[in-house]
Structure 1
């Protein structure tokens, strides 16, 4: 534990690979309901996700680690500034995959050298169900919003796993402490929870703005608000955050140049500027077109007619995804007559059917 804390981890517990006997039917039911949306890899890797031994038959123990990334301020404040971008807390600093994996490798190396066991490390990039395993290890419990909640740290936790062939003493699992609270369910802007402890990714703002590659359902766009990458609402309202502290890992701290950026600036990014601005962050992996799509939805939700110019400048964008959302934003920001005149002047020349559909 001392070595783990020195590396920046705030919680370390151990569980067994057989600790989740009910995971397979739970995962199968979730996939059968279609809650994974377009994340086809969830189906393709279901067998390995459901049982750590299917991923690595030799595993005997699983060390689960948590690293706090608590924000310095309430993320809901950013959501209220409608003409500026709200970016999920976890994405405002260095990519946590890179930061945590290096630390996990160092810790796993020490574990291997001490006991001679084989080890493998995972940080959200392999078919490992980190949250159920963390609950089984006693790091916390999966709340009604399906995110891990810790009584000591709240729900701002990055999770990592070390699989090892060593037989280690296991810790007791954590029990559920949500009680009758449903703040996380009620605050969701797109009603993504069909029931407590069940997330329908197809309606989740984080899924829509990060994972979903195509056009976003018009019925869900207004709920996205100004959230251009991810959503922290359900995490931010959890009452267990009263015990949370700001994260202590400097590399994961929010970059000042990413906080509170004007939507008009972000809408103007070309691919090179996008890559330069978001270098080293998780946002870069989404790509410029999807990100600007999100920004234009935020512009359409801003209620600020002054942002119509930023949307108009994207009408000739090379990406149909971007052009379509520019039209959607202008429909919401311009007076009806002005939009009708613009449609008459431009819609006939639009070759993409999705963009043409936005023009009406």
Structure 2
């Protein structure tokens, strides 16, 4: 990285914020690079095995807490927030308090509807943020001359929430995500590691208080204590990061969630202030706007690849996608619906041609039966 930039820190930060707003970012902060006091917590989390099979977490180890070890020459970290709640959805069109949380809770109660995490319904955020962070860095270079930098967004060993908290973008919620009073937690984080000495922006006070809504809402009790997440139980990890067979004891709790899980955020009172994105990139794609499990189960690999082009969903691949949908169909059978016969026929039709991983989940799904109350409710609904 280059050295020796003489810059007017406060004035440059004000310019950065103006440029960032024009690029669709909602907030900019600056953090220092001494994260030593975050290392014990990171080590304890890894030692407990809470990272599951995300081997890269352990492989990079403390590099996450040492920005200058990841990018030699780093002096400051520019942090960025980008809101991602789609511009317009069912339940309202305004910022905050427009019913979007209620709409998502209702979707989870309809067993045959598929639920994809909100952040993944539009364009792949990695691409959106990386491109715009690079543009922000280019604007900075035009102002101060060439400088050393690297941009990141959930793409390298970076303690993103820690840096966001230290730079005042929010505080760490009990669900471990960053929370802001004026934006909840429905935002992405990005960073620019720079060799410029910029003034750090102050941290903000935490406002979770005694609330435990996120812990109470987690279907699999993956938030084992405030600020501590066991990824091995987290539905987002199980449906996205994890490539193996989903533990049978956790399958019923997954419900109709086929990619990620938003429950801890849906339950958070601060998310009534979640903001709509300014960017069309995060508008909901037609294929995941109101999908049914039976429709998605009918996709072949070519259809999956076409529908998920440019989407974060594509990175899990077709096999994991089928695995997840099979589990959700099994849970629909557990709930009991008027379409049970169609669900069983659809599962059986694709069983023999499935991979061993998918076939095992299909067999589990086919073995599911509704409880007596659910069966009665389904029969009553069918008779109407």
**Same fold flag (TM > 0.5):** yes
Within the alignment, does 1:57 sit opposite 2:54 as a pair?
no
Superposition deviation, residue 172 in structure 1: 0.6
Alignment match of 1:38 (pick from 14, 29, 53)? 53
Within the alignment, does 1:246 sit opposite 2:276 as a pair?
yes
Helix, strand or coil at the partner of 2:155: coil
Alignment match of 2:352 (pick from 316, 338, 343)? 316
Superposition deviation, residue 334 in structure 1: 8.5
Alignment match of 1:68 (pick from 74, 83, 103)? 83
The TM-score with structure 2 as length reference comes to 0.85
- Indicate the larger mover: 194-203 or 234-243: 234-243
Within the alignment, does 1:171 sit opposite 2:201 as a pair?
yes
Q: Distance in 2 between matches of 1:181 and 1:334?
A: 34
Q: Distance in 2 between matches of 1:257 and 1:318?
A: 23
Q: Distance in 1 between matches of 2:201 and 2:236?
A: 32
Structure 2 spans left out of the alignment, 5+ residues? 1-16, 90-99, 372-384
Helix, strand or coil at the partner of 2:367: helix
Measured on the aligned residues, the alpha-carbon RMSD in Å equals 1.3
Within the alignment, does 1:83 sit opposite 2:112 as a pair?
yes
Helix, strand or coil at the partner of 2:350: coil
Helix, strand or coil at the partner of 1:49: helix
The TM-score with structure 1 as length reference comes to 0.90
Superposition deviation, residue 321 in structure 1: 1.1
Structure 1 spans left out of the alignment, 5+ residues? 336-360
Q: Distance in 2 between matches of 1:333 and 1:293?
A: 19
- Report matched runs for 1:282-321 at 5 Å: 282-302=312-332, 303=335, 304=337, 305-306=340-341, 307-321=343-357
1:339 aligned residue: none
Superposition deviation, residue 329 in structure 1: 0.8
Q: Distance in 1 between matches of 2:353 and 2:261?
A: 26
Superposition deviation, residue 333 in structure 1: 4.0
1:9 aligned residue: 25
Within the alignment, does 1:220 sit opposite 2:250 as a pair?
yes
Helix, strand or coil at the partner of 1:158: strand
Deviations 1:38-86 (A, max 9, x none): 0000000112112111101201111100000125422222211210100
Q: Distance in 2 between matches of 1:151 and 1:46?
A: 31
Helix, strand or coil at the partner of 1:67: strand
Total equivalences in the alignment: 334
2:8 aligned residue: none
Runs of 4+ in 1 over 3 A off after TM superposition: none
